[in-house]
Each structure stands twice: as structure tokens, then as C-alpha cells.
């Protein structure tokens, strides 16, 4: 799928994010994960497969760690391993929600990875949060997961960059960055970030509606 304009937006967000201290990158990642974690629950309910409660617990560990509660590195690493077993494979499920669930898992892993140390793939939290929206919105409008490099893809990009769901996520990520860039930002900032993320959680049914 051609996404030049969206790629530029994502790259700009990541460049700002990469300038922050590790704990702030972890907080940003946890906030993104909070908005997307429900997509796994939507998949799990529809496919009758997976364990949303375990994924939810894993993300809670990241929030707890960032809040200064006693969470060990061993617990965080164990949570990452648990998520590896929760990721659905597209060959096993003929559902659009499968890809959305995969992206949700990747987002939570990124939050945990930044709590433990540095992610092996720093841009992933931005890339995969938007991928979930792009896949869902492309499918909603075209019935396809990916238009490839077809002429239709270039035309559809103009629709995507104005899509209200995508523009909302851009706004939310930029607002999180602004809050975390502040010199006054502290772990108290996490309360505000988490509350706002919960209020803006994505639902597969909404994203897949034309």
C-alpha cells in the first residue's frame, strides 16, 4: 500500500519521540497500547481464541512499573514471552480482526520492551499503531487489506490521510508527545495519559464500519 504522506507523519512523530528519555518513550508506548489493546479483545471474542485477560495484565504491568510500583525485570520479560504465545496467525483465522490483534500485541510488547530497556525496533510503536488503523480503514472502504502499488492505492491514500480515525490518532499521539516533552512531566503525568487513552480506546466494529 502506498502511504507516502502517512509515512511522513509517522516519521515526524517517531523523530520527536526518539528525543525523549527512555521512561517517557515507555509511557508513550503504554498510552498507544491502551488505545489499541481492545482490538485483541474484539478478535478474541469473535474467533473464540486467545487470552485477552493475559494481554491486559501484561499492559497493566507496564503501567505499574512506570508508576514506581514493585515490578521486576523478570516479570516484564515473562510478560513479553506470554504475549508471543497470544499472537494469532493470519493463516489460522479468516478475519480482518486477526491483523488488528497482531498489531495490538506488538504495541504492548513495545511498551514492555521500553520498560525493560530499549526496544530492538524503536519505530515499531508508531508504525504498528497506525498499521492497525490503516488496515481496518482500507478494509472498510475497499474490502481489501492492502491495495498494493496499484493506481487505486495512490488515490485511496488521499482518503486515508483525511480519515477521521487516522487524524484522531495523529492528534492523540502528538498530544501525548507534548505532555511528555514538558519539563514538568513526571510520573504523575502517567495518570492523565492513561485516563485519556482509556477514554479513546479503539473498537474493531467502529474501525471496520464504512
The candidate with the shortest Cα–Cα distance to 39, out of 87, 94, 77, is 87
Give 105-149 pLDDT, tens digit per residue: 999 999 999 999 999 999 999 999 999 999 999 999 887 766 555
CATH 1.20.1590.10 assigned to domain 4-197? The reply is: yes
Instruction: Round to whole Å and give the CA distance between 2 and 198.
Output: 31
Q: Which three cell numbers stand for residue 190?
A: 502517567
- pLDDT bucket at 2, cuts 50 / 70 / 90: very low
Give 61-83 pLDDT, tens digit per residue: 999 999 999 999 999 999 999 99
Instruction: Round to whole Å and give the CA distance between 65 and 59.
Output: 10
Model confidence at 5: pLDDT above 90: no
Percent of the chain with pLDDT over 90: 80
Contact 156, 142 (CB under 8 A): yes
* Mean of per-residue pLDDT scores for the chain: 92
pLDDT at residue number 185: 76
Instruction: Round to whole Å and give the CA distance between 173 and 112.
Output: 18
Give 144-168 pLDDT, tens digit per residue: 766 555 656 666 777 788 899 999 9
Instruction: Round to whole Å and give the CA distance between 79 and 82.
Output: 5
- pLDDT bucket at 4, cuts 50 / 70 / 90: low
Amino acid at each position: 500500500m502506498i502511504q507516502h504522506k502517512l509515512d511522513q507523519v509517522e516519521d515526524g512523530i517517531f523523530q520527536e519521540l526518539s528525543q525523549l528519555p527512555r521512561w517517557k518513550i515507555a509511557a508513550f508506548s503504554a498510552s498507544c497500547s491502551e488505545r489499541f489493546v481492545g482490538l485483541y479483545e474484539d478478535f478474541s471474542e469473535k474467533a473464540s481464541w486467545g487470552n485477552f485477560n493475559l494481554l491486559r495484565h501484561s499492559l497493566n504491568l507496564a503501567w505499574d512499573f512506570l508508576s514506581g510500583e514493585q515490578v521486576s525485570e523478570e516479570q516484564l520479560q515473562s510478560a513479553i514471552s506470554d504475549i508471543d504465545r497470544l499472537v494469532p496467525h493470519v493463516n489460522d483465522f479468516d478475519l480482518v480482526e486477526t491483523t488488528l490483534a497482531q498489531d495490538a500485541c506488538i504495541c504492548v510488547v513495545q511498551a514492555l520492551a521500553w520498560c525493560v530497556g530499549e526496544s530492538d525496533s524503536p519505530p515499531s510503536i508508531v508504525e504498528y499503531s497506525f498499521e492497525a488503523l490503516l488496515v481496518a480503514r482500507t478494509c472498510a472502504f475497499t474490502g481489501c487489506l492492502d491495495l498494493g502499488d496499484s493506481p487505486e492505492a495512490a488515490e485511496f491514500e488521499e482518503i486515508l490521510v483525511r480519515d477521521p480515525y487516522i487524524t484522531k490518532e495523529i492528534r492523540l499521539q502528538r498530544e501525548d508527545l507534548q505532555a511528555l516533552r514538558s519539563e514538568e512531566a513526571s510520573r504523575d503525568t502517567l495518570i492523565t495519559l492513561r485516563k485519556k487513552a482509556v477514554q479513546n480506546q479503539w473498537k474493531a466494529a467502529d474501525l471496520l464500519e464504512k
